[in-house]
Structure 1
Amino acid sequence: MITIDGARPPYDVGSAPSIVITGAPEGLVLGIGARPGCPAAAVRALLDRVAAEHGLDLALAQVATLDRRSAEPGLLAAVAPRVPYGFTVAELAAVAVPHPSGRVAAAVGTAGVAEAAALLAAGPGARLVVPKTAGAGVTAAVARRDGVP
């Protein structure tokens, strides 16, 4: 198991290691799923829409995604100066998500990226405050850490 700031995983994820990223105001963690080559403008547009529709400030939210998407130029540009943490397919697949996708499972090997990454990175007792929301080649979900109103 991997932890940051001594935090523990949010729930039993079997043998899959877990990480907890801390430090974001309001305890928000942004999970992002994206197709390869997704442009920064598409990621920004979705994040702006999610923030506006849900009254959230995502400017300092921690970011998590699938490990093989964490270095995508469009994603990096959209969330800079933050650097997304990348979870493996096995880590993400160990998280039960409320909105699984057969298409995503066929493409990357796990039924959900955005929701699973947000929940896994947010840590123990995390809850989704924004379910998976789709944009042009990108999805986003927001989780809030336990104990943060």
Structure 2
Amino acid sequence: MSAAARVTVGVGACEDAPVEELYALVLDALGAAGLPPASVGALATVDVKADERAIVECGRRFGVPVLSYGADVLAAVTVPNPSGRALSAVGTPSVAEAAALAAAGPGGELLVPKRKSSPAGRPAMATCAVARTGMDVVDDV
């Protein structure tokens, strides 16, 4: 038996965010933490963003579910990088970090704080954060 760390990736995206922008951002965040794409157990976001094309497609590419939480649930999660913009847009001061931590469960730990995409010549349309789940998943070998 071996224990494999699983992570949840909190994501946020503007309505017309390109799928590749979010997907590349998530891959970059995983790489920064030294994690392979296979370590992703779920994507998580605020409920009003759960049907955004970029988020749905990103979940499909990773082969994981997209979990969604109400703004009230996410607003109750303490995060290092709250945003007034997120608060005014969706009713919570954090989407990516709060969703990652909410999905990680009790004892979850933020491994990669909120990152914004950095497209050339226009504002960012996607954010993500990575959290380790509160307990390791035990796989049979």
1:87-102 paired onto structure 2 within 5 Å: 87-102=69-84
Greater fraction strand = 2
Alignment of 1:1-149 (within 5 A): 25-59=4-38, 60-80=40-60, 81-135=63-117, 136-148=124-136
Unaligned runs of 5+ in 2: 118-123, 137-141
Q: What TM-score comes out, normalization by structure 1 length?
A: 0.77
Q: Matched residue of 1:98: which SS? A: coil
Q: Structure 1 residues 34, 50: closer, same or farther in 2, change over 3 A? A: same
- Note the residue ranges of structure 1 that are not aligned, 5 or more in a row: 1-24
Q: C-alpha separation between the residues in 1 aligned to 2:127 and 2:28? A: 11
Runs of 4+ in 1 over 6 A off after TM superposition: none
Q: Scaled by the length of structure 2, what TM-score is found? A: 0.81
The answer to whether the 8 Å contact 2:48/2:90 transfers is: no
Q: Deviations over 1:52-89 (max 9, x none)?
A: 22211233331110111111112111220323111011
What is the percentage of aligned positions where both structures have the same residue? 40
SS in 1 for 2:5: helix
Greater relative contact order structure (CA < 8 Å, 6+ sep)? 2
Partners of 1:75 and 1:32 in 2: CA distance: 7
CA drift of 1:50 comes to 1.1
Letter in 2 for 1:89: A
How far is 1:30 from its partner?
0.7
